[in-house]
Amino acid sequence: MKFFLDTADLNEIEEAASWGALAGVTTNPSLYAKIGGKLGDFHDHMKKICEIVGPDCPVSAESVAMTRDEIVADGLKLAEIAPNIVVKVPTMVEGLAATKELAKHEVPVNMTLCFSVPQALLAARAGARYISPFIGRFDDISDDGLAQVANIIDAINNYDFTDCTCKGEKVEIIAASIRSANHVTQCALMGADIATVPFGVLKKMVQHPLTDRGLESFMKDWEKVQNA
Ligand code: E4P
């Protein structure tokens, strides 16, 4: 499983990138608004993220256009920011049509706001390089987000979509809207290709109380060795 950071915060991205396990970044309009992002700075900000993580890490930048032609135009402009930009497109009719067109231009698309197996299958058939099913937002409405993602992974893995993606690559599932380290565990067990996690969850993924306790006792015992 690969880990993406779900944030537009440059400090968080720099810090997480320095930990050595970061494989990409996902952003969305809400995450950009959360850091006080301004419309005119959006492309520059995405460029900075691409520079921090380097060319091998995909960075999802979301189109806010609502018609296929506008999404394609927006996506082509976003793709010019850096070679590692992935255009994030909502799962809707106009988004599917735009994804097909962007794939023809060899622009990778991350289809977002995916909540069902039929949506995911259509996204893959339209040529999405990544599909982002959301977990936490299901839990928010008292549904089982993990069960929904499990179904999407099973359905997508039943088929070969490499003839649909822009460069013949495998479509990858990004488990999104992750709220806990347990979500990550469960997604890994069900074979999600990627988990995109907020920085707070990434920090929790490193921690375990038995690691802390073990480290404390090793340090105490090492003091005894030094004083022996
Ligand atoms: C996915 O790429 C989204 O940015 C994200 O995971 C949404 O998460 P949320 O439901 O916590 O807003």
Class of domain 2-227: alpha beta
**Backbone phi and psi for residue 109, each to the nearest 5 degrees, phi listed first:** -120, 140
In angstroms, what is the span from residue 171 Cα to ligand 1's centroid? 19
Q: Residue-wise pLDDT tens for the chain (228 aa)?
A: 999 999 999 999 999 999 999 999 999 999 999 999 999 999 999 999 999 999 999 999 999 999 999 999 999 999 999 999 999 999 999 999 999 999 999 999 999 999 999 999 999 999 999 999 999 999 999 999 999 999 999 999 999 999 998 888 999 999 999 999 999 999 999 999 999 999 999 999 999 999 999 999 999 999 999 998
Residue partners of 142: CB distance under 8 A and separation at least 6: none
For 142: left if phi > 0, alpha if psi spans -120 to 50, otherwise beta; the answer is left
* 51: number of Cβ within 10 Å: 13
Domain ranges within the chain, ordered by starting residue: 2-227
Q: Is the CB of 176 under 6 A from ligand 1?
A: yes
Residue keyed to tokens 């067990």: 189
Q: How far is residue 196's CA from residue 168's CA, in Å, rounded to a whole number? A: 23
| Å from CA of 125 to ligand 1 middle | 23
- Decide: 6 in ligand 1 pocket, CB within 6 A: yes
Catalytic residue among 2, 47, 88, 167: 88
Return the ligand 1 atom nearest residue 140 CA.
10
Q: Is 88 a catalytic residue?
A: yes
